[in-house]
Structure 1
């Protein structure tokens, strides 16, 4: 895919995934003039390779945004920022975790507030997750809104309010409850993953979608699927009944292949 195609047309909103899951997460968002990378859980060379696959060079990035300090979200943030002198937007709590190393340019995120990067408006939404000061993002270009909502222990009321009215949603479908219960994790980790500060199960994601409303959603992306505790067909099976037969709106961001550019019209 050419770089011009990757950037999209001026005034539009597009997104793509470098990969999503327990081994690394990263999402590109562009309005044709600016481009953001939200999280980067891949090492430098792998991140460069995955960006190139989507027609993007790191020097095209206007900023790196960080949701929280867990390794599958920040492994490549410091190396990318240092190699290409990129600004990093993150909460003070995420920075104080000490997991990112030296950063050339930092911009503090205040949770529950909005900031702008060129033509993109970014709302940072506090979420219940077992990290220092985690946020997820709603990103808008004009009247088009993309919600990025993973690493969520449970859908709190303010989360439900914040992510209503999106045109596209990247939504965590981390685990199948039965697979988690019967899987290889030790009991303490099972409690953490399935608890109120862990990750969303397929059924929770479906229930949240129902509350958010589906009329406006053009694209719904199942993301952050557990390698050991979920399968793509189970995530799709949980969400498909909500779509009244219009399954074209639903897809999965894979760990290895990510997700190609998706346009929001």
Structure 2
């Protein structure tokens, strides 16, 4: 089992999770030309994909999904609320899932869980294969007990460290946008993500990837420092995913 990011941030998100011959793309907020180029960087083509799974309808997560699905005849899995809010849904390829019930796509078991975010019916996912689990959490403004339960005991955690609170408060965003980002249905700050991390069983963790870093209100140094403080060190399996460079393949052994 392995995973890689095509891109992570407010300009476009896309993650690949692979097990055997199954390759699921989580979100696609990138134009097709970028998708093709970044897949090639990972040694893949769009025709190698099995399906697309969507977290929510915001453009940086869903903007490229319809064109990619239509061109490559890929099934798209998403909640009923996300489908209702998504005007460009390619109906012939859409499959609806419940945020409380797992689905199976090829060799991957995919367990959705709901999160608080300012979208219609957002959810995040834990991907499983054999005994290994990769959990993803991004685009959530606060942490619920169910989220903690979903993300404990993982082999890899891909976790939003969106903003440094002081950088956000002192930065250039207008007041309404600062309130949205920092609100209970916005995005996790470094401190919130670190607190969540500290509450989890991470004894099996092989990879911790910090994702969706704001280019305006955060830096990799700030995010890594917050995570390292919880871990008591900065191990080589702690990394940031980037907007343009994404993240190269990471193997779950």
Pairwise TM-score range, normalised by the shorter structure: over 0.9
Residue of structure 1 in register with 2:103 after alignment: 115
Structure 2 Cα separation of the partners of residues 232 and 60 of structure 1 = 31
Q: How does 1:54-203 map to 2 (within 5 A)?
A: 54-203=42-191
Please report how far the alpha carbon of residue 24 of structure 1 lies from its aligned counterpart in structure 2 after TM superposition: 0.4
Q: Could you tell me the TM-score, scaled by structure 1's length?
A: 0.93
Kindly provide the CA deviation profile for residues 168-204 of structure 1, in whole angstroms up to 9, marking residues without a partner as x. 0000000000000011111111011001000000011
Residue of structure 1 in register with 2:222 after alignment: 234
Query: Would you say the 8 A contact 1:136–1:150 is kept in 2?
Result: yes
Please report how far the alpha carbon of residue 212 of structure 1 lies from its aligned counterpart in structure 2 after TM superposition: 1.1
Residue of structure 2 in register with 1:20 after alignment: 8
Q: Could you tell me the TM-score, scaled by structure 2's length?
A: 0.98
**Which sections of structure 1, spanning at least 5 residues, go unmatched?**
1-12
Q: How does 1:193-232 map to 2 (within 5 A)?
A: 193-232=181-220
Query: Would you say the 8 A contact 2:152–2:202 is kept in 1?
Result: no
2:220 is the counterpart of 1:261: no
Please report how far the alpha carbon of residue 104 of structure 1 lies from its aligned counterpart in structure 2 after TM superposition: 3.2
Give the RMSD, CA atoms, in angstroms: 1.0
**Which sections of structure 2, spanning at least 5 residues, go unmatched?**
none
**Bigger mean CA offset, 173-182 vs 95-104:** 95-104
List structure 1 runs of 4+ shifted beyond 3 angstroms: none
Structure 2 Cα separation of the partners of residues 93 and 109 of structure 1 = 10
Structure 1 Cα separation of the partners of residues 60 and 93 of structure 2 = 22
